[in-house]
Chains A and B, each alone.
Chain A
Amino acid sequence: AQKVTQAQTEISVVEKEDVTLDCVYETRDTTYYLFWYKQPPSGELVFLIRRNSFDEQNEISGRYSWNFQKSTSSFNFTITASQVVDSAVYFCALSEDYSGGSNYKLTFGKGTLLTVNP
């Protein structure tokens, strides 16, 4: 069975601070995908990143960066110089269907509510 744990329920920071959202996952498979999604107050899920289990390279996209470490089963997400618009719930998710078949189900963590105050 697969499981995603986001231990931080809520985080509050002041604008321009850096913030890291933690994600720890469990899976029996050696091949899998990891994701981060952003859910603003409007409710829709915004895709941020997908990472396959073979690629442990860290990734940076503007103010966002991700640190994938298989040794600790973690896929942490850092926002640099946070902005008020970053305020949202962030979900980490796991899919064990690396092949991309029809069984492409996502298991979500419970989410972290990030509030960035001006």
Chain B
Amino acid sequence: GAVVSQHPSWVICKSGTSVKIECRSLDFQATTMFWYRQFPKQSLMLMATSNEGSKATYEQGVEKDKFLINHASLTLSTLTVTSAHPEDSSFYICSARETGMNTEAFFGQGTRLTVV
């Protein structure tokens, strides 16, 4: 199956700093990628839909200025958590779907963010 690579797998940062998470589709092009957030022992909640070459679409209640998404190419989307706070600590996971193909979305391995 298609491979989606997410980097880093885990990161610890200080409050007030920004953290960038990358999501890459390694062997296919993805016009659309999705960013999810998962709290411990909770479900995955969609944060935003990342569209190559245009603005991301955020779900209700997600601060777009807090979670900056950039989808500059057909194989890379980035999520930047700006001015991180301890409540932003979570598991962030992306998914990507091959452009023009009616297939399932593939998920990255996730990034565990801890803000101290």
Contacts and interface: CB of A to CB of B under 8 A. Distances in A.
Contact of A50 (B31, B45, B95, B104): B104
B1 interface: yes
Interface stretch (A40-48, A53-61, A63-71): A40-48
Interface residues of A, number: 23
Interface string A95-114: 00001101111111111010
Given A108-B43, A111-B43, A102 B106 contact: no
Interface in B61-89: none
Contacts of A37: 107
Interface of B: 1, 31-32, 34, 41-46, 49, 51, 91, 93, 95, 97, 101-110, 112
30 contacts: A33-B104, A42-B109, A43-B91, A43-B109, A43-B112, A44-B93, A44-B108, A44-B109, A45-B107, A45-B110, A47-B106, A47-B107, A91-B44, A100-B97, A100-B102, A102-B51, A103-B49, A105-B34, A106-B34, A106-B44, A106-B46, A106-B105, A107-B46, A108-B43, A108-B44, A108-B45, A109-B43, A110-B43, A111-B43, A113-B41
